[in-house]
Amino acid sequence: MSVYAAIDLHSNNSVLAVLDETDRVLRQRRLPNELPAILRELEPFHEELAGVVVESTYNWYWLVDGLMAHGYRVHLAHTSAVPQYAGLKHGDDESDARHLAHLLRLGILPEGYIYPRAQRSVRDLLRRRFGLVRTATRLLLSVQSSWARHTGKSLSANAFRQLDDLSIEAALPDPIVRLSVLTQIKVWQGIQEQVRQMEKWVSESAACRRELIALRSIPGVGVTLSTTIALETGDVTRFAAVGDYASYCRMVKSERLSNGKRKGAGNRKSGNKYLAWAYIEAATFTLRFSPEIKRWYTRKCGKRHKVSALKAVAHKLARVCFYLLRDGGQFDVRRAFG
């Protein structure tokens, strides 16, 4: 007889539930986040276990990798998609764990993608780069705002990069304001150096795989951006169709319709925010390097807001990249934007 296990993972403890085929609870424990302790509780059921569900929002690497290394079939629950009975009067960690095991037994568990361990560190490094780039951009905008507020003049991004102590002292005589601006500039410079180190490492370690070469055939898409797209996508064959991939990249509208009328929106944040950012970046760069895409974007701006037009370019690029990742080949601007 098969049994089903689920672990509701938290920051400092886990709740384990093991059910049989009639939903009878065979074992239920709250355990510390220690792999040996969890393995001891699962060991009596090792031969009968059909699978182990892990539900976590961020800290699942150690547990999933450890369970898989010991021969367990692991399922990562898609947390935001797990259905719960709306009329439930009481719920806690124990009932949540039992519910996950119940969904696994019924074969209706919404699952997340367990990214291959070998490539996960590079993907996460690029995610750290993403966070640093956003922080650097905020610092740049903050300095530009202070400059305009105290001098009455705008400061371009190129002019910002050429600032030195003498020009800042001349423009900002107030020592407190000057210290504020200088502090932000120093932090920005430190972040830029770390970003350059990350990009250098990725450039030196990026393999010349078929899909990366195909992605770099898109105008403006270089080593870092192509590697980000490939690693965030993972195994592209897990998407049944190009529309599923576009939805995962957050390039599809989220809305609920009834009788042709809009009744609200669905989960707009469902998908991969890093891929959404990467394709917007790719769209921005292609506008600089491809006259054909620039003309298509300009025509779209005549009908829609420029933000929507840029998102339309990103959507097309996401669809193109799906086929490049799946089939290889070269980017054909006429087929994509003809």
What would the pLDDT profile of 165-217 be if each residue is shown by its tens digit?
899 999 999 999 999 999 999 999 999 999 999 999 888 776 667 888 999 99
Residue-wise pLDDT for 140-167, tens only, equals 999 999 999 999 999 999 999 999 989 9
Q: What is the mean pLDDT of residues 112-122?
A: 90
| Structural contact between residues 8 and 31, judged by C-beta atoms closer than 8 angstroms | no
**Burial (CB count within 10 angstroms: exposed 0-12, middle 13-18, buried 19+), residue 221:** buried
Question: CA end-to-end span of the chain, whole Å?
Answer: 58
Residue-wise pLDDT for 231-253, tens only, equals 999 999 999 999 999 999 999 87
The per-residue pLDDT for 153 is 93
Q: What is the mean pLDDT of the chain?
A: 91
C-alpha 45/C-alpha 297 separation (Å) is 59
User: Domain 3-106 class?
Assistant: alpha beta
Q: What is the mean pLDDT of residues 11-39?
A: 95
Written as six digits, the tokens of 260 are 């042709």
What count of other Cβ atoms lies within 10 Å of the Cβ of residue 249?
Answer: 29
Q: What percent of the chain has pLDDT over 90?
A: 79
C-alpha 133/C-alpha 122 separation (Å) is 17
Residue partners of 250: CB distance under 8 A and separation at least 6: 268, 269, 270, 271, 272, 273, 275, 276
- Listed by start position, the domains of the chain span 3-106, 119-205, 210-337
Per-residue pLDDT band at 321 (split at 50, 70, 90): very high
| Structural contact between residues 139 and 201, judged by C-beta atoms closer than 8 angstroms | no
Residue-wise pLDDT for 71-100, tens only, equals 999 999 988 888 776 666 677 889 999 999
| Structural contact between residues 96 and 8, judged by C-beta atoms closer than 8 angstroms | yes
Specify the 3-state DSSP secondary structure of 18: strand
Is the pLDDT at 294 greater than 70? The verdict is yes
**Residue among 206, 205, 218, 203 at smallest CA distance from 329:** 218
CA distances from 332 to 115, 279, 335 (A): 30, 17, 6
pTM of the predicted model as reported, rounded to 2 decimal places: 0.85
Residue with tokens 């840029």: 310
